[in-house]
Structure 1
Amino acid sequence: MEQQPPPQNRENVASGSRAGAGFAGDLEGAMMGELRDLRVGFIGAGRMAGAVAQGLLLAGEVQAENIFASAPSNRNLEKFQLLPAGTKVLRVMLNLPCEVQSGAILLAQGSCAGEQDVALLKRLLSPCGLVEEAPESYLDIHTGLSGSGVAYVYTFAEALAEGAVKMGMPGDMAYKMAAQTLLGGAKMILETGEHPAVLRSAVCTPGGTTIHALHELEKGTLRATVMNAVEAATTRARELGKR
């Protein structure tokens, strides 16, 4: 897992140009049993990799001395040693809340990796948050949705709290209540399985406060702006992946 991939094989590249971290190595030996002797390598040693490493350490299954990291960019990938033939590589995109074990993690299976390897990596990352498997083409979309998307949420939380401050609530209380509101709303989506539009409608009463507030959000094109933000971040991720 300490060796690093060549740039010419996208199936075997854990790209340092994206916000995520790359995981490569022989996962077969560990299988689904004891993980304490598993060596975990990060290509890209930024805050995202640190968030995952912290999540793994908090889970207590991987030892600190078995975690390794390097910090390359695509510009110097060609200087790396080639991975041996048949090396198993699984690419991962995650987001910052992995730091508090509430991340959104998407992984893609490479051509040399099997279902057992995917299952092991899911188990390894599960303490960091929600883990889903998808085709590699979804990783850039996930960057726009969740990797960058958490910043959109922070921006909305700030605006939500500042609105309350404007109306007279103390700042500390406003930010705490805004955060809890977002947390509760997200939990209801995950636990009920309902479409967000259904849950939103359940809050609205005819002529009430919520529908008047939603009308203001619609006038500000909130939904279209957020969709445009996801598209912009996804497009940028694809551009960076080609460098």
Structure 2
Amino acid sequence: MNMDAGKTLEGVGKVGFVGAGNMAQAIGGALLRTGLLKASNIYVSSPSNTNKGPWIQFGTHTTTENGCVVENSDVIFLAMKPIYLDAALMDIKNTLKQPVSNKLFVSLLAGVPLKVLEEKIHRIVPDARVIRVMPNTPVLVGAGCSVFSCGTTATKKDAEVVKMMLSTGGICQEISESLIDAAGGLSGCGPAYVYLIIEALSDGAVKMGVPRAMATQFASQTVLGAAKMVLETGKHPGQLKDEVCSPGGTTICGIHALEKGGVRSTLMEAVEAATKRAAELGKNK
């Protein structure tokens, strides 16, 4: 795969998504929004019309045949739920009109290890290269956090292509596969944790008399601002927290309430639970 001089995937070829749900839409939307790929160079398959609406609006090619996506794409994202991997691969095999080669498969499947992915995919495309990715949905708005690990035959250029694609939606970093479940338990699942926190903060403000729309806006901006402070100042979160807590002030009283409620321990347990569940999903495959 040859990258153009500019940051474009036009020289790479076409990108496909087997699975048309939220995560696929987030990545596809980021590629289109940044101009890295044209809609005419994206192929998407889904067994039903449930998730096809956004893709049709994007102007991409849509189909019910996974084989069509594989035939027409150079990079194929496997974007179904892990339990549907075998069925999706079987559909690829059954709907391919001719043998294919020189394909890069990018798995978004939580918990399914590279060894398993390569074994299953190579039964259909013997020379396929495989990369395992754990992105998150804020990719859609350019604020995602994605990690990836390369399979045994993936090339340096494959890694560069995947990193470029995912970087259109935020930060992206290559890590050891031994860390990918834990990274997914943090960044992959983390947006849901933060949405819950935003909702709870908004509920608290509503309880104290702030109108709902205003409370949600303020809570969201507060979380955004706090995250930006950590990223841009480089300071430890604990230091930034201490800088807000005046002696005998309002913030330290709020922090005390959070500590009494076990918020720190609960969030740690959430990451641990998600990581363990990803490992369980992998074992089931």
Do both share a fold (TM > 0.5)? yes
Please tell me the residue identity of whatever aligns with 1:225.
Answer: T
Instruction: Give the Cα separation in 1 of the matches to 2:156 and 2:5.
Output: 11
CA shift for structure 1 position 144: 1.1
2:87 to 64, 76, 83: 76
Q: How does 1:60-209 map to 2 (within 5 A)?
A: 60-70=35-45, 73-76=84-87, 79=90, 80-81=92-93, 82-85=124-127, 87-209=128-250
Instruction: Give the Cα separation in 2 of the matches to 1:188 and 1:70.
Output: 40
Instruction: Give the Cα separation in 2 of the matches to 1:125 and 1:132.
Output: 9
Q: How many residues align?
A: 215
Match of 1:3 in 2: none
CA shift for structure 1 position 124: 1.9
CA shift for structure 1 position 74: 2.9
1:198-234 CA deviation, whole Å, 9 max, x = no partner?
1111111111111111011000000101111111111
CA shift for structure 1 position 69: 3.4
Instruction: Give the Cα separation in 1 of the matches to 2:3 and 2:132.
Output: 18
Instruction: Give the Cα separation in 2 of the matches to 1:154 and 1:139.
Output: 22
CA shift for structure 1 position 78: 5.9
> What is the RMSD of the two structures over their aligned residues, measured on CA atoms?
1.8
1:97-139 CA deviation, whole Å, 9 max, x = no partner?
1121211111112221232321222122211111111112222
Q: Is the contact made by 1:40 and 1:66 (CA closer than 8 Å) also made in structure 2? A: yes
Instruction: Give the Cα separation in 2 of the matches to 1:148 and 1:93.
Output: 10
Structure 1 residues 142 and 69, CA gap change in structure 2 (3 angstroms): farther
Q: Is the contact made by 1:31 and 1:120 (CA closer than 8 Å) also made in structure 2? A: no
Instruction: Give the Cα separation in 2 of the matches to 1:54 and 1:62.
Output: 10
SS of 2:168 mapped into structure 1: helix
2:9 to 23, 29, 35: 35
Structure 1 residues 32 and 110, CA gap change in structure 2 (3 angstroms): farther
Q: Is the contact made by 1:55 and 1:101 (CA closer than 8 Å) also made in structure 2? A: yes
Q: Which segments of 5 or more consecutive residues in structure 2 lack a partner in the other structure?
A: 47-79, 94-123
Higher relative contact order (CA 8 A, sep 6+): 1
CA shift for structure 1 position 32: 6.3
Match of 1:234 in 2: 275
Match of 2:256 in 1: 215
Instruction: Give the Cα separation in 2 of the matches to 1:187 and 1:198.
Output: 14
Q: Is the contact made by 2:147 and 2:174 (CA closer than 8 Å) also made in structure 1? A: yes
Structure 1 residues 35 and 75, CA gap change in structure 2 (3 angstroms): closer
Instruction: Give the Cα separation in 2 of the matches to 1:233 and 1:222.
Output: 17
SS of 2:246 mapped into structure 1: coil
CA shift for structure 1 position 146: 1.5
Q: Is the contact made by 2:4 and 2:10 (CA closer than 8 Å) also made in structure 1? A: no
Structure 1 residues 122 and 78, CA gap change in structure 2 (3 angstroms): closer
